[in-house]
Structure 1
Amino acid sequence: MQDDDFSLFKTEMRGVKPIKHDRADTGKPKTDRTRLATLRQAATERVESTKVDGLSDQFVIDVGAEDELYWARDGVQDGQMRKLKQGQVSFEGSLDLHGMTVEKARDTLWEFIAEANRLEIRCVRVTHGKAARMDGKRPLIKSHVNTWLRQHPQVLGFTSCLPRHGGTGAIYVLLKRTMLDGRDE
């Protein structure tokens, strides 16, 4: 009987190759440690390479929803700022930051001012909104815009708009002009 069992077993095992390793296959792919290290390195580098645009969020000046904004760089004439406040300096570009995240608003504002500068635009309007937040805190984008524009090298001054242009939810921004065609204003 034993010989029969053995020969049956041999017959059934014909063509079967012995297993070369002694570990079970769990179906789970092996962790690629070099790929994981590369991804971690890329993630830390991305954080460190955040675009430096000179606009700091370290100290944000909180402003209320209805607060009027006004700021002028040293040396800007009072008469020029008065005209700006009265809406007598026409704005040639407008930007709406409603619904953006703080980071998106920051990037968009920086690019908008850079474009206005390239086009030699003297005055723009920035609509930041004045939404009172659910948590009762002051308007986020308005407060950040108020802080960022004071730091921007191309900004000479800004003031809240007239009601027809957005009131305390928007500002007129007076920009420096570069010297094109011998013009230095």
Structure 2
Amino acid sequence: MQEDDDFSLFKSAVKGVKPITHARAETGKPRDNREQIAKRRANAQVSVEQVRIDGLSDQFVIDVGAEDELYWARPGVQDAQMRKLKAGQIPFEGSLDLHGLSVERAREQLWDFIAEASKYEIRCVRVTHGKAARLDGKRPLIKSHVNTWLRQHPQVLGFASCTPRHGGAGAVYVMLKRTMLEGRDE
């Protein structure tokens, strides 16, 4: 009995449906254009090559407050050098301002800036990250990321918040490794 019920239900469900007259499906897509495929492959390769790997992670960002002073030194860096850095007694030879940038753009600029400074054997630079408290009440985004990234960068020996005349809690002095000049830092 149930088979008859199932069949009659099926029959009523497909009532008015016309059978397919041909065996090929029409997808509506044009045939493959070999030039277009080659161009897409080339563009895909370019995109992959543009991905930057800089060693700076956002996995665990250390949140800091707008007025928090930043301070960090790599193990083995002399306390006297860090005291001089914090007091602004080591002159900085370059400065980078990250105000108003997205986190990704700030990371790229910071990485490139430190690479350039290291290339020229610069001892100390200043990075202005700002200290803007966000509208949602959370901690400053760029400042927190800079605090995390500088700890990860292999060329950074230490950093400390600037004196008020150089930006205070909105900027840091960054001490970099030097390898070729006399008085090696390592």
- State the TM-score, normalizing by the size of structure 2: 0.75
Alignment correspondent of 2:88: 87
Residues 137-165 of structure 1, C-alpha deviation per residue, up to 9 Å, x if partnerless? 11111011000000000000000000110
Measured in 2, the distance between the counterparts of 1:59 and 1:44 equals 30
Alignment of 1:50-89 (within 5 A): 50-89=51-90
Q: Look up the match of 1:11.
A: none
The correspondence of residues 1-185 of structure 1 with structure 2, limited to 5 A, is 30=30, 35=36, 39=40, 42=43, 46=47, 50-180=51-181, 182-185=182-185
1:39 offset after TM fit, Å? 4.0
SS at match of 2:130: coil
Are residues 140 and 32 of structure 1, via their aligned partners in 2, closer, same or farther at CA, if it must alter by over 3 Å? Answer: farther
Shift of 1:113: 0.6
Q: Residues 170 and 41 (structure 1 numbering): CA distance in 2 closer, same or farther, change over 3 Å?
A: same
Query: How far is the alpha carbon of 1:48 from its aligned partner?
Result: 8.1
Q: Deviations over 1:39-89 (max 9, x none)?
A: 489559836862111111111111111111000000001111011111111
1:64 and 1:184 mapped to 2: Cα distance? 34
Aligned pair count reads 157
Give the gaps of 5 or more residues in structure 1.
Answer: 1-27
Q: Equivalent residue of 1:84, what SS?
A: helix
CA RMSD of aligned residues (A): 2.5
Against the structure 1 CA distance between its residues 46 and 168, is the aligned structure 2 distance closer, same or farther, given a 3 Å change threshold? same
Task: Please give the alpha-carbon distance, in whole angstroms, between the structure 2 residues aligned to 1:39 and 1:135.
Answer: 41
C-alpha distance 29-55 of structure 1, shift in aligned 2 (>3 A): same
Q: Distance in 1 between matches of 2:107 and 2:31?
A: 39
SS in 2 for 1:145: helix
Distance 1:59 1:161 in 2: 24
Quickly say closer, same or farther: Cα 1:100–1:184, change in 2 above 3 A: same
- Which secondary structure does the structure 1 equivalent of 2:139 belong to? coil
CA distance in structure 2 between the partners assigned to 1:31 and 1:165 by the alignment? 63
Structure 2 unmatched ranges of 5 or more: 1-27
Q: Distance in 2 between matches of 1:48 and 1:118?
A: 23
Point out the structure with max Rg over C-alpha.
1
Structure 2 CA distance for partners of 1:90 and 1:30, relative to 1, 3 Å:
same
Q: How many Å separate the matches in 2 of 1:99 and 1:147?
A: 18
Partner of 1:15: none
1:90 match: secondary structure? coil
Per the TM alignment, residue 31 of structure 1 is displaced from its structure 2 partner at its CA by 7.7
Percent identical: 73
